[in-house]
A and B are shown apart, each in its own frame.
Chain A
């Protein structure tokens, strides 16, 4: 939901009738979620920002396929983002680079700390992505959507366009493989309760959904 009294569905319908501002409101409402997901897949804030714009351009192109879950386009948008991530170059080629590539932000002295922390984020994210590299693409997508973005099984199923049971089996296999790798590496010391953005443990989220 957008939080401005109108549902995502209504905003999309208005946009389709020629109200560009309505699509702008959808962008404002979901850009954060999409941006976060793109970062979790790409490991770079800058690339994630450009990818976020491409995701919304693609969402506009595919608006007739939009799926609203519980009044929200979030799952569907993350599904569009998943497709964009699968083939970034092809997706980006459809659009003029000026539409999604802004000049880099100026690094001002006051923001030096921010720059450092962003670089640190990227370093940490790359480490996570290295860990996920042992999974195949399907498992990786399911893990990021459920464990990092906090989607329920059903929402992940909508995003990936697969049955809920397939989401469950992919996560189970991913869990098994990660456990195996971590045991072998014997170097993991994870703090308890670290989970997705909602603070819920992924397991609890899943249990609600099944």
Chain B
């Protein structure tokens, strides 16, 4: 066993008493602090859990992309009836109450136009919140769109405003423009669209010459109700 003997091994030495006590005190303080700091330990866990949760949610979202749940339309004042399963295909836009039954409205429109859809159609939600109907049942999935599942509160409110605004302008298209603008402003505010603006800047343009009356357009991208120059039909 002499091969595991070390003749030069120094004798044991203890840590000097004062320093041993200092180290003991530091250690005891650390132990006590680590037991008091359970909120910190939770935070440490959250540092691990939060990124983990983000990863899991992202993965689930990615996995569920093909099974996207139906969505509610924010733009319900019109329905786009697409002639093929493509957002670039010819589109007929139907207003009025078409949002109540988009598929029925488009099938009826196609039938009246002499187009055959075979009775198959699907209503989908466009990325801009509008309703799009295509002549095939699996169109939403193949185009990566969510199926249309109804109209949101916002969509209903805006459709109601739009209905009122159209009536308001159509009642007298040729009255003073300032009155029309003021009425539209009040209507917007009453329906809760205070952030929207009323734009009648088209009346100053050269092309508006001879168009003294007003029509209406909605510019969702700019959140603007546009008062469009319109001919005075009373003169004819």
Contacts and interface: CB of A to CB of B under 8 A. Distances in A.
B23 A27 contact: yes
- The B contact surface, by secondary structure, is helix
A64 B101 CA distance: 65
Contacts of A146: 4
A68 interface: no
B4 A143 contact: yes
What is the size category of the interface that chain B forms with chain A?
20 to 34
Given A179-B3, A203-B1, A127 B8 contact: yes
A117 B16 CA distance: 14
B5 A147 contact: yes
Contact of B7 (A28, A143, A194, A203): A194
Interface stretch (B31-39, B206-214, B224-232): B31-39
A182 B4 CA distance: 11
Interface residues of A, number: 58
Query: Looking at chain A's contact residues, is the secondary structure mostly helix, strand, loop, or mixed?
Result: helix
A33 to B, nearest CB: 9
A102 interface: yes
Contacts of A194: 5-7, 9
Given A35-B14, A49-B19, A57 B4 contact: no
Interface of A: 15, 18, 20-21, 23-24, 27-28, 31-32, 35-36, 39-40, 45, 49, 52-53, 56-57, 60, 95, 98-100, 102, 105, 118, 120-122, 124-125, 127-128, 131, 143, 146-148, 171, 174-176, 178-179, 182, 188-192, 194-195, 197, 201-203
